[in-house]
């Protein structure tokens, strides 16, 4: 058994299709954005992997089922049979399901037979979202000035220009292995490029940039180049942490900026701590794409 592969979910086109409907419920759009957030997608991927070793017909994508379940809950539908019926008559859920017709058993198995730890994490993340939408009365306590610093992060970063230089050094086959001998080879090669491209101002700037932080231009760091490029583009920022790319650049309790995770604890009004979460956004859920 595997999971049904839907192009609308691979390229996240499902969001655009829903937005094309002028009267699409805002709650449904919020739920879809939430389901496609990095954290929830990682959890859904874990659940999808459960079907790789099983036999039978392909399973519905867990993201699809999560969206339907959360939306049905939001309109006071908790009965699995009614969820099945809603998928057949609700024109927006027909878009979400891409015309497929998940049965009541699909929803029952999703909620009752999925990995319990993963489902609990999804539940907690849902509580955070509902709290920011002001449907619940939880209090969020920001621990240590909203920052959970990562070791040696502030000075171990890479900029967009350095990413470009790293790509070029790779094209020249001059990446080193982090040994004195290979570093010397890289420096010598770059100095030769300076001479060859002495009339090309842009190439010379790139080479001089590489020579300033020569230890950066090694094969180990280059292995993460796609991650650096993706985060720089998605977040529209100029720097990213080398060791922990998914951390965000935020103001810490000490009043300086550093790479950190947004550490939050979720509490009830009676100050009972439910859980803690490490987020990769510097702001609350309500200030993120989920709002």
pLDDT at 229: 93
Q: E strands within the chain?
A: 139-142, 148-149, 157-159, 239-241, 248-251, 257-267, 273-279
Q: How far is CA 197 from the centre of its chain?
A: 40
- Does pLDDT of 284 surpass 50? no
pLDDT at 171: 96
Q: Say how far apart CA 247 and CA 263 lie, in whole Å.
A: 11
Burial 131-169 (b: 16+ CB within 10 A, else e): bbbeeeebeeeeeeebbbbbeebeeebbbeebbebbebb
Q: Delimit the domains of the chain by residue range.
A: 7-136, 148-152+243-286, 158-223
Token couple for 208: 């001089």
Most confident range (mean pLDDT) of 207-211, 258-262, 269-273 is: 207-211
pLDDT at 258: 66
- Does pLDDT of 74 surpass 50? yes
Most confident range (mean pLDDT) of 9-18, 155-164, 183-192, 260-269 is: 183-192
Determine which of 23-27, 59-63, 140-144, 260-264 has the lowest per-residue pLDDT on average.
Answer: 140-144
Q: Whole-prediction pTM value?
A: 0.49
- Does pLDDT of 274 surpass 60? no
pLDDT at 144: 41
Q: pLDDT above 70 covers what percent of the chain? A: 77
Q: E strands within 28-89?
A: none
- The vertex-81 CA angle with 75 and 86, nearest 5°, equals 45
């Amino acid at each position: 058994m595997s999971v049904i592969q839907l192009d609308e979910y691979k390229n996240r086109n499902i969001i655009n299709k829903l937005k094309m409907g002028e009267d699409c419920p805002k709650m449904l759009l919020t739920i879809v954005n939430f389901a496609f957030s990095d954290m929830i997608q990682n959890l859904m991927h874990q659940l999808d992997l459960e079907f790789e070793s099983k036999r039978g017909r392909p399973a519905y994508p867990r993201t699809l089922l999560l969206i339907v379940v959360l939306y049905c809950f939001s309109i006071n539908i908790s009965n699995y049979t009614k969820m099945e019926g809603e998928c057949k008559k609700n024109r927006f859920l027909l878009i979400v399901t891409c015309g497929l017709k998940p049965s009541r058993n699909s929803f029952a198995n999703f909620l009752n037979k999925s990995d319990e730890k993963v489902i609990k994490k999804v539940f907690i993340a849902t509580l955070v979202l509902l709290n920011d939408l002001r449907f619940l009365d939880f209090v969020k306590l920001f621990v240590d000035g909203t920052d959970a610093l990562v070791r040696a992060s502030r000075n171990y970063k890479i900029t967009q220009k350095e990413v470009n230089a790293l790509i070029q050094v790779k094209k020249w086959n001059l990446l080193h292995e982090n040994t004195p001998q290979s570093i010397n080879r890289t420096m010598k090669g770059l100095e030769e490029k300076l001479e060859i491209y002495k009339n090309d101002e842009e190439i010379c700037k790139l080479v001089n940039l590489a020579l300033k932080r020569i230890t950066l231009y090694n094969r180990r760091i280059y292995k993460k180049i796609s991650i650096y490029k993706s985060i720089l583009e998605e977040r529209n920022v100029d720097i990213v942490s080398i060791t922990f790319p998914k951390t965000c650049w935020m103001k810490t309790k000490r009043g300086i900026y550093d790479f950190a995770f947004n550490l939050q604890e979720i509490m009830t009004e009676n100050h009972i701590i439910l859980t803690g979460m490490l987020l990769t956004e510097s702001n609350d859920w309500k200030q993120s794409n989920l709002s």
